[in-house]
Every structure is written in C-alpha cells, then in structure tokens.
Amino acid sequence: MNRSFKTDLWVTSLLFIILAAGIFYISFSVEQNSLSLSLFGLFFILFMSIPVTVMEHRIKSKNYSLWGRTITNLVLVNIIFFVTFVVVFSRSIFYYLAFAITYTFVQIIITSVKYKPDSE
C-alpha cells in the first residue's frame, strides 16, 4: 500500500494525540501526579511528535538502510520513553531500562523477521 506523506502525517499525528491523551490521563488520574507534571507529559509527547514525524520522512526520502532507520527510530522512541517513565511517572531508572531493553529487542526481532534481507 503506497501512502502519501500527508496521509502518514495525519495518521502519525493522530496516534501521538491518542498517546499524549493516554499519558495525561494515566499520570493525572491513576498516578495522581500534579497537574503541571501531567501537562508536561502531554505537551512533551505532542511537541516530540513533530520532529519524529519529519525526521522519519526525511530518512525515508533519503533511502537510508533499513537498519539505519530502525536504529534512529529506536533512539527517538527510547528518548520519549525515558522522559515519560522517569520524569512524568517518577519511576526508577531500572524500570525504564527493563522496558527499553525489552522494547529494543522486540523491535529488532520484528524488523528482521518482517524485512528479511535477501540471502542471495
């Protein structure tokens, strides 16, 4: 399926809006953090989505290798996870590391299975 950049931009923006609203709800209602910290999490995710979307489009348009795109994506997602877990939810760094390492390995396995390099 060949989608245009505008379609990708709208879909990615919608996903980040849903993610930001979920983080706001969880950090304000469930974790019972302060309103200012919950709003920080909301706006951090919203403002982080703009450079992530633009950078992803630039990487695709420059035809970088699949592993280059995967590693760049992992770095950006892990930055978002770090700020979300450690700053917004006030979890320990070990909680973040356990989640980030698991996410990274799963993403690499999914990428290698989905886009098997041609062995021939």
pLDDT band at 18 (very low <50, low <70, confident <90, very high): confident
Q: Within a domain: residue 64?
A: yes
Range of the domain at 66: 5-114
Which tokens sit at 25? 């709800």
Amino acid making up residue 35? L
Is 120 part of a structural domain of the chain? no
* 33 within domain boundaries: yes
Number of domains composing the chain: 1
pLDDT for 25: 82
Give tens-digit pLDDT for 36-70: 777 777 787 777 777 777 776 676 667 777 777 77
pLDDT above 50 (res 120): no
| pTM exceeds cut of 0.85 | no
Residue 32 to residue 23: CA distance in whole angstroms: 12
More confident residue, 82 or 27: 82
Q: What is the mean pLDDT of residues 13-25?
A: 81
SS (H, E, C) the chain: CCCCHHHHHHHHHHHHHHHHHHHHHHHHHHCCCCHHHHHHHHHHHHHHHHHHHHHHHHHHHCCCCHHHHHHHHHHHHHHHHHHHHHHHCCCCHHHHHHHHHHHHHHHHHHHHHHCCCCCC
Instruction: Give the model confidence (pLDDT) of 71-114 as tens digits.
Output: 877 888 888 888 877 877 777 888 888 888 888 888 778 777 76
